């Protein structure tokens, strides 16, 4: 089953061709450079950028598979998948409109996909040769960590989830972005914090609070940490801020990662599930990966991250893979049917 997948939920215009779990091609146009001066994504700019680029990205995704025209290529495609939420309404609309246009022209059905479900399935993505050959062994604990999401879910079976806990305020990635800004750096902040932290003399010099560490539920909270970081920065001289910038970044990052570890371990103990899936933009953080490998090893389980770097960012390949499992359950829509974008779409 071959799928052409479209992802435009946020700041990446991406189109992929997938065959079951195999990614035959994935093309991305990133808008990150457009937002450097704004300090974050601007919905109206995102919409225009998606609209301007989408046809080009479709062509690129096709040409990475085969240098033929779209009419000929579409004969080999079974379905068109598209992200319908969560994300920015204006951005989602562009992808949905393009999916409907293609579905009508080439007489295909559409598979609407939840963006976060795509992130989850991204850990089972394979290259053209079927690597890595991971098998599904349900159930999994899923930790989704990105700029907009911090959620712990129980993944019971294909397309079946139970929400165990989520952030009550900021997402983990968002808090890293904000900490970077407070230190005087630009957007996106997560990678900047990680780079600074790698050069720090000690990883947790300042020992900022671990929010929610003692609560019994599995929710997260990062706004208290952000506030204590803010007041700490105000309390010190500019000189210390400059000289200790690496230690400040590293301590903040340590507090975020440890909060994630504490709740994940709690969830493992409560559910008796030792296989953990970690996905979303923050899953690329190497310190996070290292610490989670240690935790899961201690608990006698396995941890799965997206197997290729591009899968940590928003991408259409993961949408195509999730769509394959959706298609088998009959989640198919006609080109003429209403497919509304759902900016706050939830998984469970």
Where does this chain bind Zn ion (CB under 5 A)?
314
Least distance (Å) from Zn ion to the CB of residue 282?
Answer: 10
Instruction: Pick the closer one to Zn ion by CB: 187 or 229.
Output: 187
What burial letters (b/e) apply to 224-251, b meaning 16+ CB within 10 Å? ebbebbeebbeeeeeeebeebbbbbbbb
Residues 6+ apart with CB under 8 A from 201: 246, 247
Instruction: Pick the closer one to Zn ion by CB: 118 or 211.
Output: 118
Assign 12 to helix, strand or coil: strand
Least distance (Å) from Zn ion to the CB of residue 40?
Answer: 15
Give me the residue whose beta carbon is nearest to Zn ion. 314
Least distance (Å) from Zn ion to the CB of residue 41?
Answer: 12
Nearest to 124 by CA among 154, 156, 158, 81: 158
Nearest to 279 by CA among 123, 147, 85, 127: 123
- The CA-based angle 48-54-57, given to 5 degrees, is 140
Answer positive or negative: Cα dihedral of 146, 310, 1, 78.
Answer: positive
Instruction: Pick the closer one to Zn ion by CB: 165 or 281.
Output: 281
Residues 6+ apart with CB under 8 A from 320: 3, 4, 5, 16, 17, 18, 23, 81
Nearest to 117 by CA among 18, 24, 7: 7
Cβ 301 vs Cβ 328: under 8 Å: no
Cα–Cα distance between 16 and 269 in angstroms, integer?
38
Least distance (Å) from Zn ion to the CB of residue 207?
Answer: 31
Instruction: Pick the closer one to Zn ion by CB: 150 or 251.
Output: 150
Instruction: Pick the closer one to Zn ion by CB: 19 or 314.
Output: 314
Least distance (Å) from Zn ion to the CB of residue 112?
Answer: 16
Least distance (Å) from Zn ion to the CB of residue 191?
Answer: 15
Instruction: Pick the closer one to Zn ion by CB: 210 or 313.
Output: 313
């Amino acid at each position: 089953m071959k799928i052409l997948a479209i992802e435009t939920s946020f700041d990446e215009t991406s189109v992929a061709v997938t065959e079951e779990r195999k990614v035959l091609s994935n093309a991305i146009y990133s808008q990150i450079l457009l937002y450097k001066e704004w300090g974050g994504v601007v919905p109206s700019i995102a919409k225009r950028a998606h609209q301007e680029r989408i046809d080009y990205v479709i062509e690129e995704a096709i040409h990475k598979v085969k240098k033929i025209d779209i009419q000929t290529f579409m004969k080999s495609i079974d379905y068109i998948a598209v992200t319908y939420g969560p994300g920015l309404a204006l951005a989602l609309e562009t992808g949905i409109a393009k999916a409907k246009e293609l579905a009508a022209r080439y007489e295909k059905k559409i598979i609407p996909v939840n963006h976060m479900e795509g992130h989850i399935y991204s850990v089972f993505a394979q290259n053209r040769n079927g690597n890595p050959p991971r098998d599904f062994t349900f159930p999994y604990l899923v930790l989704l960590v990105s700029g907009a999401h911090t959620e712990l879910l129980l993944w019971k079976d294909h397309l079946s989830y139970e929400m165990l806990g989520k952030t009550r305020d900021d997402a983990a990635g968002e808090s890293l972005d904000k900490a970077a800004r407070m230190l005087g750096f630009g957007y996106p902040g997560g990678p900047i914090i990680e780079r600074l932290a790698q050069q720090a003399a000690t990883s947790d010099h300042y020992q900022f609070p671990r929010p929610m560490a003692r609560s019994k539920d599995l929710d997260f909270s990062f706004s208290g940490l952000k506030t204590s970081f803010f007041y700490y920065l105000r309390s010190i001289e500019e000189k210390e801020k400059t000289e200790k910038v690496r230690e400040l970044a590293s301590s903040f990052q340590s507090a975020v990662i440890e909060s994630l570890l504490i709740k994940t371990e709690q969830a493992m103990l409560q559910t008796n599930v030792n296989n953990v899936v970690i996905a979303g933009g923050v899953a690329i953080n190497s310190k996070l990966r290292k610490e989670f490998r240690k935790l899961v090893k201690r608990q006698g389980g396995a941890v799965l991250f997206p197997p290729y770097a591009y899968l940590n960012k928003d991408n259409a390949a993961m949408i195509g893979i999730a769509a394959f499992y959706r298609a088998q359950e009959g989640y198919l829509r006609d080109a003429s049917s209403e497919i509304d974008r759902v900016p706050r779409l939830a998984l469970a």
